[in-house]
Amino acid sequence: MASCPQHCSCRNDVVDCRGKQLKGVPRNIPASTQKLYLGHNQIKVIEKNDFCFFPQLFELQLQNNLITSLSSFVFSGECLPKIQTIQLENNRINFTEADEESMKGLESLTEINFNNNPFACTCDLRWFRRWIDKTKTFVRDLKKYRCYSPEDWKGKTLLSFDETKIECNLVSVKVTVGIIVTVIILFVVLISISYWYRMHILFITYSTKNRIRRYFTRRNQNYTELVNMEYDAYILYSEDDEDSKWIKTNLLKEFDDGSEDDQNFHGKYKLYFGDRDTLGSADNLQTSVNTMENSRKIIIVVSKYLESYRLRDLFIGEALDLKGNSLHDIIVITVGNISFAEIPRLLHSKVRIGDHVEWRDDDIYRRVFMVKMEEKLMNNST
């Protein structure tokens, strides 16, 4: 023979590698090999093409190894057209990862031995049980084959195992469990996201409904003539108490014609202030969206607290959309030393050209603020 695996003996087309502590099928096996003895080693895996280069092979011994599974087409008739005998007894094959393709096309096979392997008598073994019933190959010591698992079948003969005696799903238990776990995780994530963004979802729902209504109304009539302007201005601000206090002191007191906490204001404009004007039983979000539409102007109070207001951009986006419909103007107020980076991006264009009102805790700034606010509230043009 032209070549021979290391530590093996090769003679008369017989390659003997028994008991050499091999971890896998050795290299340099002659293509003319007819008998290959690989028993009593430590081989764990048999790859698909391990025996595809020995067209003359008719006897293969793999007994007393550590083989756990058989790959598809591992003993394909295309690779082993003359194979007659395969010995696989005393391994660790349970057939849970094998399939019918593992034994496909072995018309020449006359004898095979799987004795003393830990057969897992589950749904995954159905194909092997059917193969035993149909094959013309002699399965040596077949009556000795026993189930090692599951517990209900442990110790019973393989021949007593029948697919009609077990309940099998269309998919394996592992796949089923995986699908269930994935669905549960996705459901939890979806619920968590929905809860976290519930106010965003509600806002978008109300806003979209109003936009659709405005669209169909404009098609046939003058929309601005149909809208009932209940307020001169809607005040948009953060949910922080400091902003609320500032509005009461510097906006309502000077410009609002209503009252707050038994204090009558002396302004001449009807301003919508959420903390005061939203009824406790009302849906605050829907009320806000509707009131914005029914206001001539929207005042946006940009303070250091507005950045943390989660619905900030949604409200500002709605205001900008209304600007092209019924809204006369958007009045931007910057409170304190606000940097340009702290101003919402949607308002950058207005602030960049100076179309905003500044308020600072200074007498001169307060006077200028009063004059500018009066001018913007009084002016009904854009």
So where are the chain's domains?
Answer: 1-165, 228-378
The answer on pLDDT for 303 being more than 90 is yes
Task: Using the Cα atoms of residue 186, residue 187, residue 190 and residue 196 in order, give the sign of their dihedral.
Answer: negative
The answer on pLDDT for 245 being more than 80 is yes
Going by their DSSP bridges, the two strands 9-11 and 14-16 should be labelled as antiparallel
Q: pLDDT, tens digit, for every residue of 117-137?
A: 999 998 888 888 888 888 899
First to last CA, the chain: 99
Distance CA 21, CA 39 (A): 10
**More reliable by pLDDT, 26 or 228:** 26
The answer on pLDDT for 381 being more than 70 is no
The answer to whether 278 touches 287, Cβ cutoff 8 Å, is yes
pLDDT for 30 equals 93
Burial (CB count within 10 angstroms: exposed 0-12, middle 13-18, buried 19+), residue 96? middle
Confidence of residue 290 (pLDDT cuts 50, 70, 90): confident
pLDDT for 112 equals 94
Distance CA 273, CA 315 (A): 15
Query: Which residue matches tokens 């250091």?
Result: 304
Confidence of residue 343 (pLDDT cuts 50, 70, 90): very high
Distance CA 119, CA 147 (A): 5
The single-letter DSSP state of residue 166 is S
Closest of 88, 82, 79, 155 to residue 128, by C-alpha = 88
pLDDT for 73 equals 63
Q: Which residues pair with 36 in a beta bridge?
A: 15, 60
Helical residues (DSSP H) of the chain, grouped into ranges: 126-134, 173-196, 198-220, 223-226, 241-247, 253-255, 274-277, 284-293, 312-323, 348-352, 363-378
Question: Which 3 state secondary structure label does DSSP give 118?
Answer: coil
For residue 357, what are the CA distances in angstroms to 54, 268, 322? Answer: 89, 19, 20
Average pLDDT over residues 332-349: 92
**More reliable by pLDDT, 76 or 137:** 137
Angle 308-312-314 from CA coordinates, rounded to 5°: 145
Maximal CA-CA distance, the chain: 116
pLDDT for 159 equals 92
Confidence of residue 141 (pLDDT cuts 50, 70, 90): very high
Q: pLDDT, tens digit, for every residue of 193-225?
A: 877 777 777 777 777 777 776 666 655 555 444
**More reliable by pLDDT, 274 or 221:** 274
Same fold, 1-165 and 228-378: no
The mean of the pLDDT values for the chain is 85
The pTM (predicted TM-score) of the whole model is 0.49
The CATH architecture that domain 228-378 belongs to is 3-Layer(aba) Sandwich (3.40)
- Helix and strand numbers (H, E) in the chain are 11, 18
pLDDT for 226 equals 43
The answer on pLDDT for 40 being more than 90 is yes
Neighbours of 56 (CB within 10 A): 15
Going by their DSSP bridges, the two strands 263-264 and 9-11 should be labelled as unpaired
The answer on pLDDT for 281 being more than 50 is no
Q: pLDDT, tens digit, for every residue of 99-112?
A: 777 777 777 899 99
The amino acid present at 120, given as its one-letter code, is A
Confidence of residue 242 (pLDDT cuts 50, 70, 90): very high
The domain 1-165 having CATH identifier 3.80.10.10: the answer here is: yes
